[in-house]
């Protein structure tokens, strides 16, 4: 019938072929064997490639240790990004220092890649007195002003409209800034996804939306999240290009992101990139994916590990050796270990941190409440009651 726009294809998560033209338009650079499709292989200096590899190993090392800390009750909660390292590092590599990043809780590698030391992350996870966010947020809710890595929030999706606001403001000020706005597949259902992409389309805001499709939102699989063919296809609704990329292929992610960032910087507007990957762990330390997730799916994705894949590529380019590996792994372990020791040894934040930063200046009623609490504390503490965190 006339006027009908029919979604053309039905498979949600396709297995990419070893070239740049796979099913459902999935862009791929590195094949399973580590060979690159020459037509789409980005030109990156070896040092950059090795730095990317380092970050990927570092975050994996941190994730592993941090989950153990959580199990041991030494930190209260943790979210691992196991399996998603390429999506973070490939995209992070594509942005410039002046660009702004709106990450989710599953994107800590971006902070590392932009130069934040592990200890800063662990101070936050321990919520201690040296934590940038002063022990106010649950673990993994980082904020780093100097790398324009904007404060992570728990409510899903809220960063997406904010990213558009930053981009629009930068344009008004004539600053050649591009904004990276990350979100998960679940977040595409949020109010802010819709408003953010719509505003970005109308305003031609310099934003790259990066939907890291790990195929699950806690226990909700993509098939129950949306009937859209792909997440990239949602771009059509906002008049912007939609790009689908193999999220376990760090170079494909880099390439797609770089092109989108370049477009944005040229004033040609926003892009939505869907990076197809897989959440290899449970949702968080409070979740048990075994309750709802078929293990075959996990097995299949295990074979596509993004670090292994990138290592094979580096080896082919002679940018990797056993010695290099050893140095990278040992370096990562040492940094994480030292960071844990520092972070765990740091005391909890001072009482007044409950009351500061609510406003730029503490108003009288908060001063009064702080004094009240100080008096009560002076009179002696009650015993601590400790809750159990389920998510």
Partner 1 sequence: MAELTVLQAVTDALRTEMRRDDRVVVFGEDVGKNGGVFRATEGLQKEFGEERCFDTPLSECGIVGTAVGMALYGIRPVAEIQFLDFIYPAFDQIVSEAAKMRYRSGGEFTCPMVIRAPYGGGIRGGLYHSQSSEAYFCHTPGLKVVIPSTPADTKGLLLSSIRDEDPVIFLEPKRIYRTVKGEVPEGDHPVPLGKARLVREGSQVTLIAWGAMVPVCEKAAAEAAAKGIDCEILDLRTLVPLDEAALLESVRKTGRAVVVYEAPKTAGFGAEISAILAEKAIEVLEAPIVRVAGFDTPFPYTLENLYLPDARRVLAGIEKAVGF
Ligand X SMILES: Cc1ncc(C[n+]2csc(CCOP(=O)(O)OP(=O)(O)O)c2C)c(N)n1
- Residues serving a catalytic function are 279, 283, 292
Is 326 exposed, middle or buried (CB count within 10 Å of its CB: 0-12, 13-18, 19+)?
A: exposed
- Contacts with partner 1 in 167-196 (CB under 8 A)? 167-170, 172-173, 186-187, 189-192, 194-196
Nearer to Mg ion, 128 or 222 (CB): 222
Q: Which of 16, 76, 135, 184 is the binder for Mg ion (CB under 5 A)? A: 184
Question: With binding defined as CB under 8 A, does residue 373 bind partner 1?
Answer: yes
Return the SS3 of 305.
Answer: coil
**What's the half-sphere exposure (Cβ side, CA atoms, 13 Å) at 361?**
2
The alpha carbon dihedral of 53, 55, 56, 57 has a sign of positive
Q: Which of 43, 97, 296, 384 is the binder for partner 1 (CB under 8 A)? A: 384
Q: Mark residues 177-196: x for contact with ligand X by CB under 6 A, - for none.
A: -------xxxx---------
Q: Mark residues 248-287: x for contact with partner 1 by CB under 8 A, - for none.
A: --------------------------------------xx
Selection from partner 1, Mg ion, ligand X, none that 202 binds (CB < 5 to 8 A by kind) is partner 1
**What's the half-sphere exposure (Cβ side, CA atoms, 13 Å) at 85?**
25
- For the CB of residue 123, give the shortest distance to partner 1 in the complex, in Å: 11
* Residues facing residue 171 across a β-bridge: none
Q: Record the tokens describing residue 255, joined without a space.
A: 């390439």
Nearer to ligand X, 221 or 331 (CB): 221
What DSSP string describes 211-233?
A: EEE-SEETTEEHHHH--SS-SGG
- For the CB of residue 264, give the shortest distance to Mg ion in the complex, in Å: 24
Distance CA 198, CA 188 (A): 12
Selection from ligand X, a second copy, Mg ion, none that 290 binds (CB < 5 to 8 A by kind) is none
Q: Are 298 and 280 spatial neighbours (Cβ–Cβ below 8 Å)?
A: yes
* Residues facing residue 246 across a β-bridge: 276
175 Cβ neighbours under 8 A, 6+ residues apart: 98
- Contacts with partner 1 in 283-322 (CB under 8 A)? 286-287, 291-292
- For the CB of residue 217, give the shortest distance to Mg ion in the complex, in Å: 5
Distance CA 177, CA 205 (A): 10
Question: With binding defined as CB under 5 A, does residue 157 bind Mg ion?
Answer: no
What is the contact surface with a second copy in residues (CB under 8 A)? 1-7, 20-22, 25-27, 40, 189, 191, 193-195, 198, 201-202, 204, 223-229, 232-245, 256, 259, 269
Residue whose structure tokens are 């799916």: 297
Size of the site for Mg ion (CB under 5 A): 4
Residue ranges binding Mg ion (CB under 5 A):
184-185, 214, 217
């Amino acid at each position: 019938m006339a006027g009908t726009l029919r979604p053309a294809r039905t498979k949600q998560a396709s297995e990419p072929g070893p070239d740049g033209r796979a099913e459902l338009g999935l862009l791929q650079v590195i094949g399973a064997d580590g060979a690159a499709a020459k037509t789409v292989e980005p030109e990156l200096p070896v040092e950059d490639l090795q730095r990317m590899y380092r970050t990927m190993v570092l975050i994996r090392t941190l994730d592993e240790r941090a989950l153990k800390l959580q199990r041991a009750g030494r930190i209260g909660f943790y979210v691992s990004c196991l399996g998603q390292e390429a999506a973070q590092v490939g995209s992070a590599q594509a942005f410039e220092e002046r660009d702004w990043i709106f990450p989710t809780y599953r994107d800590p590698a971006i902070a590392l890649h932009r130069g934040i030391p592990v200890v800063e992350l662990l101070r936050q996870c321990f919520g201690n007195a040296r934590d940038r966010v002063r022990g106010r947020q649950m673990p993994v809710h980082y904020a780093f002003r100097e790398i324009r890595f904007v404060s992570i929030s728990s409510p899903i999706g809220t960063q997406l409209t904010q990213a558009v606001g930053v981009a629009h403001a930068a344009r008004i000020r004539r600053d050649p800034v591009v904004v990276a706005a990350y979100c998960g597949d679940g977040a595409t259902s949020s109010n802010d996804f819709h408003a953010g992409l719509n505003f970005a389309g109308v305003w031609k805001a310099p934003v790259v939306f990066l939907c890291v499709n790990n195929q699950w939102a806690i226990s909700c699989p993509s098939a129950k999240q949306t009937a859209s063919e792909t997440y990239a296809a949602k771009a059509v609704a906002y008049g912007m290009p939609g790009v689908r990329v193999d999220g376990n292929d760090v170079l494909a992610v880099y390439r797609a992101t770089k092109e989108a960032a370049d477009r944005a910087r040229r004033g040609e507007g926003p892009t939505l990139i869907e990076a197809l990957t897989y959440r290899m762990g449970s949702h968080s330390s409070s979740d048990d994916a075994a309750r709802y997730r078929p293990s075959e799916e996990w097995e299949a994705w295990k074979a596509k590990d993004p670090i292994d894949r990138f290592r094979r590529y580096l080896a082919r380019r002679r940018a990797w050796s056993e010695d290099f590996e050893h140095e990278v792994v040992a370096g990562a372990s040492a940094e994480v270990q030292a960071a844990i020791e520092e972070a765990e040894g740091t005391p909890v934040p001072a009482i007044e941190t409950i009351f500061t930063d609510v406003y730029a200046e503490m108003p009288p009623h908060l001063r009064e409440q702080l004094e009240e609490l100080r008096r009560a504390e002076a009179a002696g503490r009650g015993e601590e009651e400790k809750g159990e965190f389920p998510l």
